[in-house]
Amino acid sequence: MKARVKSTGEIVEIKDLYDDGTALVGNMYLKLAELNFFSENIDWEQRRYELAKDIIKVVIANENGINSEAVAKYSLNCADALIKRLKEENHG
C-alpha cells in the first residue's frame, strides 16, 4: 500500500498498519494523520472521461460560436496531458 507524506509530498510504501494509529514506513513509524492514502489501481480511462467532461464544461461556458469537434479534441488533449503529469508524479 502506498501513501503520500503530507509534510513532504514523498510517496512511501506502507509496510504495516497498527491499531494505535501508526504505520510502519521503512524503519520508522508515522501517525496515520500524517499520511494521505491512495489507491494504486486508478482507472485512467474513467479519469480521462471525467477530466474531459469537466474541461468541456469550462470551455463551453467561456466561448461563443464554438466548434464542437474542436472542443472535444481540445478537452481530450488537455485530459491526456494532465493524466500524463499525474502518472509522472506518482512514479517519479
> What pLDDT, in 10s, does the model give residues 74-91?
999 999 999 998 888 766
First CA to last CA distance, the chain: 17
Q: What is the pLDDT of residue 91?
A: 61
The beta strands (E) that lie in the chain are given as 2-5, 11-17, 22-25, 28-31, 35-37
Cell numbers linked to 31: 501517525
Q: What is the pLDDT of residue 52?
A: 92
Band (pLDDT 50/70/90 cuts) for residue 20 is: very high
The larger pLDDT score, comparing residue 30 to residue 43, is at 30
**Cα–Cα distance between 90 and 33 in angstroms, integer?**
20
> Hey, where are the domains in the chain?
2-37, 44-91
The owner of cell 504505520 is: 23
User: Of all helices (H) and strands (E), which one includes residue 67?
Assistant: none
